[in-house]
Amino acid sequence: MGQSTFSSMTFFNVTAAGYFAALFTYLANVVTRRPSWRHLSILLAAGGFLAQAAGLTLRWYESGLVEVAAYERAEGTVLTGMHWFAIFAQHPPWSNLYEIMVFMSYGLVLVLLVCEVKFNIQLVGLFGLTIALTALGLASLTIDPTIKPLVPALQSWWIMIHVISSVVGYSAGTAAAVISLLFLVKDRVSLNRMALGGLATAVGVLFVQGRGLTLFTTGEYRARLMRNMAGEWIGVVRPVAEMGGDMKPFYFASPGVGPLMILGLLVSVAGLAWFWMRRNEEPEVLAGVGRQLYLGAFGLVTAVLGVALYNDLSGAPVMPPAEVAGSLLPAGPWRFHISGNQWDLALFFILWVGMGFVAVTALAPESVRRLLPDARNLDRAAYNAVMVAFLLVAVVLVTGALWAHYAWGRYWGWDPKETGALVIWMVYAIYLHARMTYGWVGRPSAAIAVAGFFVILAGFLGVNLGWFADGLHSYGSG
């Protein structure tokens, strides 16, 4: 993967190993309740964090060398002194999708460690490391992680403060959502309402991933078609569109996933109706029809994730119709590959983790509550995280406007990413306003913070990847 394959990637691999080890020791601590496991998990997470810092530093060094070489070739000169340093340092390690996801995982672990040490919240480590590892996994599956010279729009020192603020701000917002979910569990929110929220999320994710009503009209879930550059199914793969000269990707139905998604939607909608009629009841544990509906929906989401992942990992061959293959596609063979729908898989996985946590809580609520600190401590931690997110997203908006004026000659153009950042900031403004003005402390504010996580997903990844709209900030799905 270019100039950075050996040095920085080695540190990132060590980072992933450290985070995985920390995740399993967190789980061991939850099961055994032994403080030594928790101390070890914090040390492992901190070690991974330091390894990632070293990797990011090396990535910056490698990027600087690329930038200097590109400048010298273009200008036909040799840089020296401060001029060399200015060109060298202007390319930080967060300029493409691969680097953004690596840096996002770094911000998530940073916020996680602060919450772990300052507020003594154990379960937040499980969620934080899971999301951080998901971000690292997505980074490893990006199509092109190589270092390239910055495009003119990115050749600005605004990239430093703007991206750092966005990564830490969105990480703080994610932490606020996780802590708020734990608060709702500790505060004994009705299990029926928790199941209602989990099923509503399942309906939203499955509907979006099925491309709306298209899922019902075609019965298909589509994944991007992939092929190896050398024509054999080994090595680095590329979207078929890149190889045919047409940059519009080709999508084909992933076998068996569409019907499972339809069943999951139907069962989730049935569960929504059931729990909505019983939303004011407060059972001690989920049982009866409600339990069957929720676990049925969770099982179908598990099947969706499992079958889609199996199709990708097995490299299932694809045989498009002859008229399509002959007129639109380059020569075969064509196959599914995990890089063809890694972002969909990540969203399915996040949904699966969230529904799984609600399922465990609904079946053994007291066991989960015993793992959590006092509800007021959780509420205070979530409030502090939202304050950090609110302030840093405000910095993102201001620096983004100044940068846009420098790069494109205007401060604001309602680009999808600009609008997404504004909506994220408004969600946290509503949280703080409702809390301070109307006294919405506790459950109402926690619900807003949890919703903020999905707004971050839509405003950050959804726009960056062109899920909802293409704009000047879109990185592309690779």
Spatial CB neighbours of 101, under 8 Å, sequence gap ≥ 6 = 135, 136, 138, 139, 142
Residue at 91 is within a domain: yes
Kindly report the average pLDDT of the chain as a whole number: 85
Do 343 and 209 share a structural domain? yes
Residue 94 DSSP symbol: -
Q: What is the pLDDT of residue 2?
A: 40
**Residues facing 224 on adjacent strands:** 251
Residue at 153 is within a domain: no
Do 110 and 52 share a structural domain? yes
Q: What is the pLDDT of residue 5?
A: 45
Residue at 368 is within a domain: no
Q: Which residue do the tokens 């989730």 mark?
A: 268
Q: CA 165, CA 406: separation in Å to the nearest integer?
A: 19
Do 213 and 100 share a structural domain? no
Q: Output the six-digit token pair for 4.
A: 């950075």
Do 298 and 219 share a structural domain? yes
Residue at 81 is within a domain: yes
Do 379 and 334 share a structural domain? no
- State the Rg of the chain over Cα: 23
Do 314 and 379 share a structural domain? no
- Neighbour-count burial of 151, counting CB atoms closer than 10 A to its CB (0-12 exposed, 13-18 middle, 19+ buried): exposed
Do 459 and 342 share a structural domain? no
Q: What is the pLDDT of residue 441?
A: 87
472 in Cβ contact with 408 (< 8 Å): yes
Q: What is the pLDDT of residue 476?
A: 45
From the list 205, 166, 208, 204, the residue with the least C-alpha distance to 421 is 166
Residue at 292 is within a domain: yes
From the list 349, 311, 205, the residue with the least C-alpha distance to 265 is 205
From the list 179, 143, 225, 170, the residue with the least C-alpha distance to 393 is 170
Q: What is the pLDDT of residue 103?
A: 92
Q: CA 417, CA 475: separation in Å to the nearest integer?
A: 11
Residue at 142 is within a domain: no
The total of structural domains in the chain comes to: 3
Do 25 and 132 share a structural domain? yes
What is the domain extent for residue 239? 191-282+286-363
Half-sphere exposure of 238 (CA within 13 A, CB side): 17
Do 256 and 295 share a structural domain? yes
Residue at 465 is within a domain: yes
The separation between the first and the last C-alpha atoms of the chain, rounded to the nearest angstrom, is: 14
Do 228 and 200 share a structural domain? yes
Looking at residue 15, its amino acid is T
Residue at 168 is within a domain: yes
Do 476 and 420 share a structural domain? yes
Cα–Cα distances in Å, from 117 out to 32, 42, 46, 124? 20, 9, 11, 11
Q: Which of 363, 396, 411 is the last residue of a domain?
A: 363
Q: Which of 105, 137, 169 is the last residue of a domain?
A: 137
Q: What is the pLDDT of residue 4?
A: 42
Do 172 and 209 share a structural domain? no
Written in H, E and C, the secondary structure of 128-184 is HHHHHHHHHHHHHCCCCCCCCCCCHHHCCCHHHHHHHHHHHHHHHHHHHHHHHHHHH
145-185 tens-digit pLDDT = 788 888 877 778 888 898 899 999 999 999 999 999 999 99
Q: Which of 340, 363, 386 is the last residue of a domain?
A: 363
The stretches in the chain having pLDDT less than 50 are 1-5, 233, 476-478
Q: What is the pLDDT of residue 468?
A: 54
Q: What is the pLDDT of residue 3?
A: 43
397 in Cβ contact with 425 (< 8 Å): yes
